[in-house]
């Protein structure tokens, strides 16, 4: 699968997050080929543990369309979503999830709890992992190497 242009936009949001000292994760919500919302991690800046890129982008997209359900929307994110973000993706009824690097420790889509595969999951988006995985992972490794 070729890399969608929207993954480039998510990668840019991740770069901007890193420049602010945040863990470099970026997300973009798209509907009908147009970006509704974009965000990078802001947990430190906002002093909010829920300010993950996915959560911020989902909130902004819902506000933009005036609906908590993002039924015809796709989410592009540079890192496999955590349990909190996977739950929000399900509740928002995101149509498709495209993510970059897998997260064996904190991911909840193809790793960990595999939330979308649970019988209690309300909605399962179509999932496409591994888009720009190398670039996403390299950005994270570089960020954390600089912290050690």
Classified as helix, coil or strand, 72 is coil
Whether 80 is catalytic is: no
Q: Report mean pLDDT in 10-residue bins for the chain, 148 residues.
A: 81 98 98 97 98 98 98 98 98 98 97 97 96 96 85
**For position 1, what pLDDT does the model report?**
47
**What domains does the chain contain, in order, with CATH numbers?**
3-140 (3.40.140.10)
Q: Which two tokens stand for residue 115?
A: 């939330």
How many CB atoms within 10 Å of residue 19? Answer: 10
Q: Which residues are annotated as a binding site for Zn(2+)?
A: 52, 82, 85
**For position 3, what pLDDT does the model report?**
59
How many CB atoms within 10 Å of residue 136? Answer: 27
Q: Which residues are annotated as a binding site?
A: 52, 82, 85
Rounded CA separation 102/105 (Å): 9
pTM given for the model? 0.95
Instruction: Spot the catalytic one: 45, 54, 80, 135.
Output: 54
């Amino acid at each position: 699968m070729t890399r969608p242009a929207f993954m480039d936009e998510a990668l840019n949001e991740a770069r901007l997050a890193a420049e602010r000292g945040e863990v470099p994760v970026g997300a973009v919500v798209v509907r009908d080929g147009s970006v509704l919302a974009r965000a990078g991690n802001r947990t430190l800046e906002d002093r909010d543990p829920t300010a993950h890129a996915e959560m911020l982008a989902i909130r902004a997209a819902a506000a933009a369309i005036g609906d908590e359900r993002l039924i015809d929307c796709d989410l592009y994110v540079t890192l496999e979503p955590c349990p909190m973000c996977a739950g929000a993706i399900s509740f928002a009824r995101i149509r498709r999830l495209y993510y970059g690097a897998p997260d064996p420790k904190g991911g909840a889509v193809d790793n960990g709890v595999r939330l979308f595969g649970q019988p209690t999951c309300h909605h399962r988006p179509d999932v496409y992992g591994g888009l720009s995985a190398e670039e996403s992972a390299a950005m994270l490794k570089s960020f954390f190497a600089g912290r050690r």
